[in-house]
Structure 1
Amino acid sequence: MKKSLVLAGLCAAAFPVFSSMASAGPIESACLRSGRDAASRALCGCIQEVADMTLKGNDQRRAAKFFRNPDQAHEVWVSQRPADDEFWDRYKNFGAMAEAYCAQ
């Protein structure tokens, strides 16, 4: 009985950790795969938290592509399309908040 309670307690404590690992968002995944020296699970997770607060899913997926191909960010930045300008404003807000919130 005692072992069952201990095992149940450990499973309950571990569940949030494993579920958060399994449900990494697009920004966190791209950050972790980026190969940058500063990319850590803690930092990339923090950046994903900010993305969840500031960007919708389609914006997150679009921004995640910038980790693989930074030239895409430049293309959006210089674009004359109103939709790109609106996205860029949201992306800049996300970047500023992530920098302030996740600074180490």
Structure 2
Amino acid sequence: MKLLLIPLLCAGPLVIVPSAPVQASTVERACRQSDRSASSPSLCRCIGKVAKASLSSSEQRTVAKWFDDPHQAQVIRQSDSRSDERLWLRYKAFGERAARTCS
């Protein structure tokens, strides 16, 4: 045991940096706050991770609002706007990926 401590002590002071708490994504928080019976902390965490990997920060904020007001997703889906169409396609891909990953 003494032999193992000598190299550590000679290497200089050991600095321990506490890790920062992992922040829940916007989508994860929205999922957790929704009143859907199927939502669980682990499912929401998984969906949040997929959202972070699939959607921009701005898109995540928009999609998170849909948990409270699902009609807004329908408004985007039916919109003639090119940017809304791109968002809808990215959201659809995110949903498919979340379904595969989190089920």
Fold similarity call, TM over 0.5: yes
Distance in 2 (CA, whole Å) between partners of 1:77 and 1:32 is 24
For residues 1-104 of structure 1, the aligned pairs below 5 Å read 19-20=21-22, 23-103=23-103
Pairwise CA distance, 1:37: 1.0
Distance in 2 (CA, whole Å) between partners of 1:42 and 1:19 is 17
Pairwise CA distance, 1:66: 0.6
| Secondary structure at the counterpart of residue 68 of structure 1 | coil
Pairwise CA distance, 1:71: 0.4
Percent of residue pairs identical? 38
| Secondary structure at the counterpart of residue 21 of structure 2 | helix
Structure 1 unaligned residues grouped into runs of 5+: 1-11
Pairwise CA distance, 1:98: 0.2
Distance in 2 (CA, whole Å) between partners of 1:34 and 1:44 is 10
Larger-gyration structure (1/2): 2
Structure 2 unaligned residues grouped into runs of 5+: 1-16
TM-score, normalised via structure 1 length: 0.79
Pairwise CA distance, 1:25: 0.8
Pairwise CA distance, 1:65: 0.6
TM-score, normalised via structure 2 length: 0.80
Matched residue pairs, number? 87
Spell out structure 1 runs of 4+ moving beyond 2 A: none
Q: Which has the higher helix share?
A: 1
Pairwise CA distance, 1:19: 1.2
